Structures are given as C-alpha cells and as structure tokens.
Chain A
Amino acid sequence: MQNQQDMRILAVDDEVVFLDILHTLFSCQGYRHNMQARSAEEALGLLRQPGQPFDCILLDIQMPGMNGIALCKAIRNMPKYASTPILMLTSLSEQVYIDQAFGAGATDYITKPINETELNARLRAAFNAIIERKRVEALAYKVQTSSVDQVGLNFADPIALPEVDDLMGFVAMQNYLLTLGGLRANAWSAIGFHISGAAQVFANAHPRDFLDMIQDVGITIREGLKTRTFLLSYCGSGDFVALIDKKTPIDEGDLQDQVNGLLEPFREFHLAASGQHVEICVSKPCSNGLLTFAPPTAPIDAALLGARQNRALAHSGANGPPL
C-alpha cells in the first residue's frame, strides 16, 4: 500500500442511497478498492472469503438483523481483523451507542451526514494507523523470534501486548474521547501509570524480557482496577493510561501501593533479566474543568505527565533535593 487510496475498504449499510453516496465520494477521492455490503450477514460472507483481507471497514449501526455493533464484535473475533481500523458511520450520537461501539472494538466514530473532507481525514488517520501497526507488528514478531537484541524496537513504540486482555489502542482511546466531546468526556478521569526503570530495562534486557515486563505491568494494572469501570491503553515509553468512571472515587496513593504490591511476585524476574528494579508510579486522576476550551484528550496528556513527574519526585526524595 503506497497511500490511503490503495486501501481495500468494506462499507456496510442497509441504506442503498448511503452506499451510493459513499461510492461517489470514494470515486471522486481516488479510492480504487472499495466494496459494499447491505447487511451484516453479507459483510461477514465477504470478510470470511480467503485472499487479501480488507484494510479498513466502515459500519452503520442501525441495520435489520445483526446491527453494526454486534457486527463489529464479530469482526474483532476474526483473527485477521483483530486490529483492522473499524469506523462506525452512523446518525446516532447518543453516548450509549458511542460507548457500545468502542466497547465492541471500533477505532473511530463518524456521525452522519458525512462530508468528503472529514471522511478523507478519518481514512487518512486509519491508513496511518495501519502503517504504524504493521511496523510494530513486524517488530513484535522479531522480538518473539530473534535470538539477538538488534530488532529495531523503539522504546516509544506502543507495542502490542497480547497477554493483556481488552487493551484499547491508544489512538482508539483518544478517538473515543474526541467522539464523546467535552461534557460527556468529562464523565471519565484519566490516570497515568509510568514504569520507573522501564528505560533501563529496555536498554539492558533482551527485547523479549522487556515485552514480558511491560505485559506483567499491564496485567497488574488491570488487576488493580478490576473493581472499577475502566479502559486501559499502553502508550509506549513504559506508560499506560486508564480512563476511570468518575462515579467511583479513586485514591492514587492507595492504587499505587496496590499495583506495586501485585507486581511483587514478578520483580525477581525483572531484576534477573535486566539488573533493574521497576516500580509503577501513578498520577492523580485528571479531568478537564467544566468551563474549558481544552480538548477532550487533554486529561490523558496531563495524566501521563503527572505519572512521570510522580516518578521524578519519588527519585528526588530518595536521592536529594527536588529535580
């Protein structure tokens, strides 16, 4: 694939006129490989066909029979489409549908009526996500199969963590908040988790051991949050971010103690692999104020910064004056 117009796109909608609109938009914008289905059943038939898979899938929600959200779940259960960008294209803007869509594995959500500029921009984002995912998947494969540590993995790569259940893509998490918009996104607080020592593990350990350490931390964080409603994502650079339902208050100090306690059984392996002790630093819950022009994704940035600063403060306390 050289550019976004090379993507194989499948659009699913029971409204023939909308499929005609999409076909016209695609033709005008130079998208050469697009197919359509008028029902979830027809779409699944196309998706199950052997051969080159689709690169991007657009789904309506309200359809007779299986709706778009159930279809999204079914697609995500197909191994070859586990990470394919799925964009919901729908007139429905209520939060319940947005939550269900992202919960089913959607990566973006566009409300109808659409326009060419916005659709093109979202498809460009999907294309960029595909390129990045392929690069990171190639690295993950090298990490698993290579006997040497020169695999070209960057510390900042948001590498896939297959052993951490229900991990949300970082881009999908951002898109979720952007789709909700200011007031509705304010129902979530963002909490950052920084792995203190991750950079040293990356530098000193085999990439497989680094990946194992990151996954151990991810599993630990999930365990620490399991009594709450949350979404979790790995951002790269040893950082995780969680969106926590604001209805459940959270004390970051207690959470930090809890996740570090849960990590204890793994520490000796991390130490043996890298000579480095790792610790999880947790930020305060971050959210936008009600009267703010900050983007809905700002709390994520604040949470990640807070977790890193928490780590800096912890180290300064051990070693001397504040940094």
Chain B
Amino acid sequence: MMTVQTDAMTEALRDVRDRFLFDLDQRICDFEHLKMLIETGSNRTEAIRAVAMMAHKIRGVAPTLGLGRLGALAGSVEDVFSNAARQPSLSDFWRDAGPVLETLLDEMERVQPDYATQ
C-alpha cells in the first residue's frame, strides 16, 4: 500500500491531521469505555465488534496523515478483534487482545500534541 505523497499534499492535509489529532481524545475515551465493557462482560460481543470497527477506521486514515505506526497498530487491533470468535474463551482472547489494544492506546496518546504547552 503506497502512502508516499507530495510535499504539497502533505501540507494540504495538515489541517486534516491537526483535526484528527485533536479528536483522538474522544477516540481514546471510546476505546476505554469499550475495554471496560469487555472486561466486565456487558454486551461483550458488541463491544469487541465496535473496537474492531473503530480500529478499522483509524487504519484507513492514519497513514495518509503521516501516522504510519498508528495505522499499523490499528490494523493489528482490527485483525485480533475481528478474529475474536475463533478463540476458545474470553480469557484466551483477552490475553492476546488486551496488550495489542493497550499498545494502540499508548500510541494514540503519544502522537497527540501537548495542547497545554501550545
């Protein structure tokens, strides 16, 4: 998948990137909420599906905005969560999926600008 783009395009996408980064807080909150649902057993299947879908969306946009690592980690989350049904038990699933999701959440926090200092 090619993500190389001209400098002019990168510059043109700067505003889109800034808005995406600004909105990451909400996406992080949404992921945390879904993580809680999975861990407590509330609407677990729907929560797993929602995590996969949210990761799918990030996977499709992050690399174009110069956030290749974020896109790749989102892809890993989507792949793991999309295959949840193949795991024999929730604990087996969460043993693998939990750390993958945490890595994505860490990266989402890492790429966010520190608005307090701007």
Contact = CB atoms under 8 A, between A and B. Distances in A.
Band of interface residues on B: 20 to 34
A117 interface: yes
Contacts, number: 67
A20 interface: yes
B5 A112 contact: no
B13 A21 contact: yes
9 contacts: A18-B57, A91-B56, A91-B78, A112-B1, A113-B1, A113-B3, A113-B62, A115-B4, A117-B4
A91 B59 contact: yes
Interface of A: 14-15, 17-18, 20-21, 24-25, 27-28, 62, 90-91, 111-118
Contacts of A17: 16, 19-20, 23, 57, 61, 65
Per DSSP, chain B at the interface is helix
A115 to B, nearest CB: 5
Contact of B61 (A62, A113, A118): A113
A111 B59 CA distance: 11
Interface in B1-34: 1-6, 8-9, 12-13, 15-16, 19-20, 23
A112 B2 CA distance: 9
Contact of B60 (A91, A115, A116): A91
B4 A113 contact: no
Contact of B63 (A14, A28, A113, A117): A113
B78 to A, nearest CB: 8
A28 B16 CA distance: 14
Contacts of A15: 57, 60-61
Nearest to A15: B57
Contact of A25 (B3, B9, B23, B78): B9
